Structure 1
Amino acid sequence: MHLTCIDAGERAHGMSCAPGGNGGEGANGAPISGRVAWIGRLTGPKGELARALLRDVVPRFPAVAFTFVGGPVDPAHVAQLPSNARLVGFVADVAGVMREQDVIIGGGRVPLEAMRLGKSVIAVGEGCYIGPITVDTIARARATNFGDCAVREPLAPQTVIDDLTQLLRGALKAPVQDYPAFLKDYDPERVHAQIGQVYRDAAIDGYLSRFPELPILTYHRVVPEPPADSRFNIYVTQAELDRQLAALKARGFDTVTFRDIAAGRQARKPVILTFDDGYADNYEHLLPLLERHDAKAVIFALGDRGIATNVWDATHGEPATELMNDAQLRACQASGRIEIGSHGLAHRHLPQIDDAALAHEVTDSKRALAELVGDEIVSFAYPYGEYGAREVDAVKRAGYLFGIGTVNGPLRMGADRYRIRRITMFPRTGRVGFWKKTSGYYLRYCKLKGKDF
């Protein structure tokens, strides 16, 4: 790049600077002083901005020290710059230069780094001029990548002069107290997590797109013998589950978990076995069966570990039944056979509670279970299978990858990962019924026939 500054005002081929004139003055008529840095390359559109600043702005502030960081710089022309401007080329410690300045000028990520250091910032990029970063200008700054991404507008030097004068005089204060909020969306850890989530979502969607219908079965208790006093009959016997697991294996099914799907682990013929509430008999009878058949399952447990029995059903006449304790739940997760998901803190009807209680149920149960089992909790099963748009939004905000209902939601799992429909297993589900429910056509068959799921 050819840099030439001519004090006589002559415009050269590369860069020319107009004579100083009266210069910027403070409120008392004294020249404005301070330190200002332009940070950006000296080629292309940014080079044109640098030339415009040197030509039209720098001479108006003879008592202000201007530093231009970037390059490439032609050493032969450095001596021809105005006495209050210096070109330092590329530097390793850009932050160190920024710390010495009163105002930073630049576009793209330059304003972000300046705000992190608590500096006044004038944002101008290849596309447009934003001006001082304030509450009023931050929205446009974000939308244009601080001036770099916009339909190109010519720079108005007088606007830069006016804004710089306001900042250096102190008439316009940098809203340093607002910088943390401005920078929130650019936090590296936050951005990394968001990018990771984009890839994770794409992997999940790609996985699920292969299956018009992926059977997800709903169970609760696993018992040696049918209980005589059960009102709701939410159980399967050990013998029946043993036969079902053997049948799945014989038919070439792969039992997978929600985490398997999120990780993109391929399965030719997947099926998901889910067990709600986290009964102690799951540890006693389900886990040995999974080990025998080399199978996996998902258990949706409560985050409130002080709840020891199924109090939500016991109040309606169901016999009180013991839930797993912490050690049993950890053993299930550690087995590699069982993935733990959340069923809320206390098995509450989510649509009937207020927003704060909903967030508490969804978010705190995720955190409590993750701390207990030492692993990420990726799935949430809505208690009673009841949810609406508000509950779905809460589950998404809490960071779950899957929201699971019962007999509601789209037929295809991939259509909406937060309204996943399941197929209920009953004690009376026989061999033919089990074959139908795991056929990969069952939900569509029921819809066609107008039958309950």
Structure 2
Amino acid sequence: MKEGALMGFRKAIIFLIFSTIFLSACTETKPVDTQVKTPSVQSSTQTEPLLPPKEKQEKIGDYQKLKVPVFMYHSISNKPGNNLCVPPERFEQQLKEIVALGFEPITATEYYQAMVYNTPLPKNPILLTFDDGYVDNYTQLFPILKKYNVKGIIFPITGLINENPNFLSTSQMKEMDESRLVEFGSHTKNHVYLAQKDLKKVNDELVESKRFLEESLGKPIRTFCYPYGDYSPAVVKEVKKVGYLLSFTIEEGGATFLNQQYSLDRYYITPHTSLSFLKEYIS
């Protein structure tokens, strides 16, 4: 099948893929119970990394119509047959190609500030996102990001942090955060289909995951990623109410801030994504 035809096919099945294999992505063990206690709420003492929306400019910024490529990864590990697992050597090859093409990875904070406050962006910005928070994001991904001095954004499932050895720990997250190469966003506590839950459950998932990350890292968390790409107008309303300023879907395409602030598209990268296809994504 030609790659052009593959794009449409992959977009049609991506929702099903995530709903069946995300937790078993690169592990052989079953996930533990995610109903874990969350620390009590405390106010953050660190400077706000994303300025509050009430200070937003009245006019549309120069960048708001710009289509920025966002790549969606999950696990960086070797597990043949699992489309959520990109081998480290494959990821490094892709990263070198991205850099060679003149693209510079940025954080979600940098993206938001450029969109809202018109702060400067690199000539060719790109966002590299990693869903779920697998432990290999620390053992495999992080060394590669440091090697090339490249930034990435991780969206961990907070109910699995410190509870499942196949997922990140808070100490690993702190080390990555302190490097300033990795930024964290929320992906809910239990990775549920938000559009299928009542609003109280939606709010609990949004608040508890946000609170856990803020207390673990000592900074506000303003970026969100919908589990399975499942959302609705009611869910978006809750996302805004809780205090997130950006949110990402699994719809395939480049991210355009204008009219998509809470539904930013991404390109799903698998072990089979060729370099020529990758070039097509960012061209």
Corresponding residue of 2:107: 257
Q: What is the CA distance between 1:410 and its match in structure 2?
A: 8.5
Distance 1:345 1:210, change over 3 A: same
| Alignment partner of 1:281 is 2:136 | yes
Q: Which has the higher contact order (CA 8 A, sep 6+)?
A: 2
Corresponding residue of 1:333: 177
Structure 1: segments with no counterpart, 5+ residues: 1-194, 310-320, 440-453
**C-alpha separation in 1, matches of 2:59 and 2:70:** 16
Distance 1:374 1:247, change over 3 A: same
Amino acid at match of 2:69: P
Corresponding residue of 1:361: 205
**C-alpha separation in 2, matches of 1:378 and 1:297:** 15
Aligned-residue CA RMSD (Å): 2.3
Amino acid at match of 1:282: N
Please, which of 199, 215, 234 is the counterpart of residue 390 of structure 1?
A: 234
Amino acid at match of 1:288: P
Amino acid at match of 2:71: L
1:81-120 deviations in Å (ceiling 9; x for gaps): xxxxxxxxxxxxxxxxxxxxxxxxxxxxxxxxxxxxxxxx
Corresponding residue of 1:407: 251
Q: What is the CA distance between 1:402 and its match in structure 2?
A: 0.3
Please, which of 113, 122, 141 is the counterpart of residue 267 of structure 1?
A: 122
Runs of 4+ in 1 over 4 A off after TM superposition: 408-411
Larger radius of gyration: 1
| Alignment partner of 1:243 is 2:97 | no
1:53-72 mapped onto 2 (5 Å cutoff)? none
State the secondary structure of the residue aligned to 1:304.
helix
| Alignment partner of 1:197 is 2:197 | no
**C-alpha separation in 2, matches of 1:202 and 1:379:** 20
1:285-300 mapped onto 2 (5 Å cutoff)? 285-300=140-155
Corresponding residue of 1:218: 72
Distance 1:301 1:207, change over 3 A: farther
**C-alpha separation in 2, matches of 1:252 and 1:306:** 35
Distance 1:306 1:204, change over 3 A: farther
Is the CA contact (8 Å cut-off) linking 1:409 and 1:419 kept in structure 2?
no
**C-alpha separation in 2, matches of 1:204 and 1:344:** 32
Q: What is the CA distance between 1:197 and its match in structure 2?
A: 2.1
1:230-278 deviations in Å (ceiling 9; x for gaps): 5x42011111111111112111111011111233352211000000000
Please, which of 413, 423, 447 is the counterpart of residue 267 of structure 2?
A: 423
Is the CA contact (8 Å cut-off) linking 1:408 and 1:419 kept in structure 2?
no
The number of residues matched between the two structures is 228
**C-alpha separation in 2, matches of 1:269 and 1:253:** 5
Distance 1:301 1:322, change over 3 A: same
Distance 1:330 1:196, change over 3 A: closer
Structure 2: segments with no counterpart, 5+ residues: 1-50, 114-118
**C-alpha separation in 2, matches of 1:397 and 1:355:** 12
Q: What is the CA distance between 1:412 and its match in structure 2?
A: 2.6
Q: What percent of counterpart residues are identical?
A: 29
Corresponding residue of 1:30: none
Q: What is the CA distance between 1:202 and its match in structure 2?
A: 3.1
Amino acid at match of 2:54: V
| Alignment partner of 1:375 is 2:219 | yes
Q: What is the CA distance between 1:210 and its match in structure 2?
A: 5.3
Q: What is the CA distance between 1:209 and its match in structure 2?
A: 2.2
